[in-house]
Amino acid sequence: MKLRRRARGSPRCERAGAWLFGAHRTRERFAPLPPELYPQDPADAYAIQSEYVRLRARELGTLVGYKIALTTPAMRAMVGLDEPIAGEMLERAVRRGPARVRAADYGRLIVEFEIAVQMGEDLPAMDAPYSRERVAQAVTAVMPALELADDRNADYAQLPANVLMLIADNGWNEGAVLGEPVRDWHGIDLAALEGTASINGERVGQGHGRDTMGHPFEALAWVANNLASRGLGLWRNDIVITGSLVTSKYPKAGDHIRFEAGSLGAVELQVD
């Protein structure tokens, strides 16, 4: 049996997940959970994340993939974490580009510029740990992607004091926009691949595949091992977005966003 997520969490984790779900529904500013519900450690934070995503899945459908955040040492140092963060993506929040979203549907929309992969085989927890070479064998397609996130007008100065909330709040993920899958990717040097972000035709940033933990597949291996540490697997057809090559952008209504990723092509988003 393919275990998609752990069994139901403790009653406290269920209450914490419900609190987060309610805060999103009422558009409250990002804030820490009440003291009695606040995560005690990363494992507790992931258990709360699971309960929160479980509630969102009633509207957004089944789990279809994962994100990784804080892939650079500088970003982790900023918030006080020793390793990246994994988050879950749900079916109806993952779109194929070109796509449109409404800025009014978010507290504060964030867009990030990523390399996404689609899995072609299962990576169960029992076979961990996974290396970059092993996860590469399981990749069936690679594509450019835009991550959609919502920081709910967070006060970034307060993040180091509430870092476990980033995990519990699913890394702020609100889905992704995926470009056309490239199945003949083996001849592409993904570490050297250059990505360029533009808004309304003006270049706003660029980066390389190596900016995500040295190689996108290093980030993929980290996700597979993080899931395995929680008794979960990465499964065939799952999508994983592997971290932003360009610093986060905060688009407004009327903006047109394009991410060009060399041989992988491009993906576009219109914000209304």
Per the CB < 8 A criterion, the answer to whether 170 and 49 are in contact is yes
Confidence check: pLDDT of 134 > 50: yes
pLDDT in tens, 88-109: 999 999 999 999 999 999 999 9
Of the candidates 250, 246, 256, 260, the one whose C-alpha atom is nearest the C-alpha of residue 113 is: 246
Of the candidates 195, 216, 212, the one whose C-alpha atom is nearest the C-alpha of residue 262 is: 195
- Across 132-145, average pLDDT: 98
Cα distance between residue 234 and residue 2, in whole Å: 9
Tokens 């279809």 belong to which residue? 64
Which distant-in-sequence residues (6+ apart) come within 8 Å of 156 by Cβ? none
Averaged confidence pLDDT in the chain: 93
Per the CB < 8 A criterion, the answer to whether 210 and 192 are in contact is yes
Of the candidates 118, 132, 120, the one whose C-alpha atom is nearest the C-alpha of residue 214 is: 132
Lowest mean pLDDT segment, chosen from 6-10, 121-125, 237-241: 6-10
pLDDT of residue 90: 97
pLDDT in tens, 206-227: 999 999 999 999 999 999 999 9
Confidence check: pLDDT of 4 > 80: no
Answer yes or no: CATH 3.40.50.10470 is held by domain 63-271: no
pLDDT in tens, 60-69: 999 999 999 8
Cα distance between residue 85 and residue 73, in whole Å: 12
pLDDT in tens, 29-77: 999 999 999 999 999 999 999 999 999 999 999 999 999 988 877 667 7
Confidence check: pLDDT of 1 > 50: no
pLDDT of residue 9: 73
- Across 151-179, average pLDDT: 93
Per the CB < 8 A criterion, the answer to whether 94 and 118 are in contact is no
When pLDDT is cut at 50, 70 and 90, the band that residue 228 belongs to is: very high
Structural domain spans, the chain: 63-271
- Comparing 73 with 136, the larger pLDDT belongs to 136
pLDDT of residue 78: 66
Statement: the pTM of the whole predicted model exceeds 0.85: yes
Residue 197 burial (10 A CB sphere; 0-12, 13-18, 19+): buried
Confidence check: pLDDT of 2 > 70: no
- Of how many residues is the chain composed? 272
